[in-house]
Structure 1
């Protein structure tokens, strides 16, 4: 995963956008429509929404301007922020819950040039590619043999299925949740 400037792509800013809510489109009665921030324990969310002052003191492009550089700052607030950025802690109430969640696809395995059959579902476009990756508790691992046709990585989808608490690691990131998919539909407001 490529990590860009911590200040210009603050995870707290991305979470604030996510907290505005998802589409008002009603979920089917069998699935609980959730927002990404619900998958994160409250103290992790609080740490990310309130980044330490030390981040503002890092010069753009400097050696410290990365997740690895931030790890070298030893104050308690920065360390707690780092823990939240890498957290695999989950909200156990979602284990074996039928959910509906929107997101973007980061392909891990393709059936053909345009069809992803194994992928990570992430809350924002570019996650794991162009900005700091989401914490593992904001990444969902999916295998879907039917496949999802992608015309662009900017396409968002609604996924419905059963969410389980199961950590999966890949070259693109670690997911703290796994989704057994029942249906995939294009995202629309």
Structure 2
């Protein structure tokens, strides 16, 4: 009996340390939006679509005239309240007194707001992380773990269809790949 209890405790400890499986960004997008993105023409740096609309505050809002899917706030209701682990890149919004990022958008690819239009709102996640994380730059890939919510967020910088209260944020290591 004692051996069985010890075995159960070891298993419970190992399970607690195990990370959630990776959530793919496309899981946040309804199938109809996925299909619309697949049909969309390529956006390159020289096209009119590449000229994102930057506000006086340096925002990354979508430019007018893009296909409707690029503005989509349609979500996947089954994702609401789900614990996930997702990889992405930060767009810092707020920092604490130590300079650690406590509020940021997570985007699926690096430089999402610099040379091409930002992802659709249903491919942006507002991450709240009160513990804060020191970020070297926006090209630092992160793993973010926490409970995702269907929550429409709009500010001067961007619109997001999801928010996540992060329990854990860490930089992706080469051993993760």
| Structure 2 residue aligned with 1:166 | 151
Q: What secondary structure sits across from 1:70 in the alignment?
A: coil
Gaps of 5+ in 2: 1-16, 52-61
| Structure 1 residue aligned with 2:87 | 102
| Structure 2 residue aligned with 1:70 | 65
**8 Å CA contact 2:50, 2:116 repeated in 1:** no
Residue-pair matches, total: 149
Q: How far apart, in 2, do the equivalents of 1:152 and 1:112 lie?
A: 18
**8 Å CA contact 1:128, 1:173 repeated in 2:** no
Runs of 4+ aligned structure 1 residues displaced above 2 Å come to 28-33, 64-71
TM-score w.r.t. length of structure 1: 0.69
Bigger-Rg structure (1/2): 2
Judging changes above 3 Å, is the alpha-carbon distance between structure 1 residues 112 and 43 closer, same or farther for their aligned structure 2 residues?
Answer: same
Cα RMSD, aligned residues only: 2.7
Judging changes above 3 Å, is the alpha-carbon distance between structure 1 residues 42 and 107 closer, same or farther for their aligned structure 2 residues?
Answer: same
TM-score w.r.t. length of structure 2: 0.74
Q: How far apart, in 2, do the equivalents of 1:145 and 1:121 lie?
A: 15
Shift of 1:129: 2.5
| Structure 2 residue aligned with 1:133 | 118
